[in-house]
Amino acid sequence: MSTPNPHLQAILAKKWFGFDLDDTLHEFRKASTKASMTVFEAIHKKFGINMEALEVKYQEILQTSTANAFTDGRTSTDYRRERFTQLLEAHLVDDPIEDTYINNLLEIYQSSLRSNLTLKAGALGLLQTLRRLGKKVIVITEGPADAQEWTAQELGLWSYIDILVTTNGIGKSKVDGLFGVVFEKYGISADEIVYFGDNEVRDVKVAQGDGILAVLYDEKQRSQLDDCESLRIDSWEFLALNLEPGV
């Protein structure tokens, strides 16, 4: 009989399982990129602005608008309205931009985002396994609260999440003490939770700095559970299988 992996045993012993959301439990970048492209196509069709120029400018706007990790309390609609307005103003300096047109772009983006939302393989099965094992699930993620709650509901994850908190709702980013504030608010101690995320710095290193057992979700590298300081999994199916009693 093989000796049980002590790090897997440590993970299984945790009461709380914490997750990032975007690009950890679902394919956020792919969905948001497709949604953005539908907006660029609509703008190109109406004004004839070069698609590549729109994409380049939008990336510049995104880098600036997300620098605060969504800690200022605004809604996803506020952020998107601001971005689309800036995008149009950058190319249509002399033309007034009507609110009704911005509203139309917001609807185009939301509709495309909804149709392109996709769970990471095995994510739902993992949450179902955790529920069956009596574990608690908390999602700690950066982003507007309304958008992240909507996403969890659209993806069918909502009923498996005990707590969902965002940087927008708390007013702090992960690197500025979000974990500590969340744990104090919900009465969770660092030694009773394991946290999974796709960002090695903002998810794993920061969590480890707060005394949390943290695991990197990285589909591009093989799972590694031998070193406590660099735990890594490459799929949710792998984790779910190894959490099952007797496996």
The whole-number pLDDT of residue 65 equals 80
The whole-number pLDDT of residue 1 equals 39
The whole-number pLDDT of residue 10 equals 92
Record the pTM.
0.93
**Surface-to-core class of residue 134, CB atoms within 10 Å of its CB (0-12 exposed, 13-18 middle, 19+ buried):** exposed
Tokens standing for 20? Answer: 């990032």
- Pure H helices in 5-98: 6-12, 28-47, 51-65, 76-91
The ranges of the chain with pLDDT < 70 are 1-3, 93-94, 245-247
All residues at 6 or more sequence positions from 22 whose CB lies less than 8 Å from its CB, including other chains: 28, 29, 141, 142, 143
What is the CA angle 161-8-205, rounded to 5? 70
Residue pLDDT, tens place only, 24-83: 999 999 999 999 999 999 999 999 999 999 999 999 999 888 877 788 889 999 999 999
Nearest partner of 5 among 190, 231, 210, 209, judged by Cα: 231
**Surface-to-core class of residue 238, CB atoms within 10 Å of its CB (0-12 exposed, 13-18 middle, 19+ buried):** middle
CB atoms within 10 A of CB 159: 9
The whole-number pLDDT of residue 67 equals 75
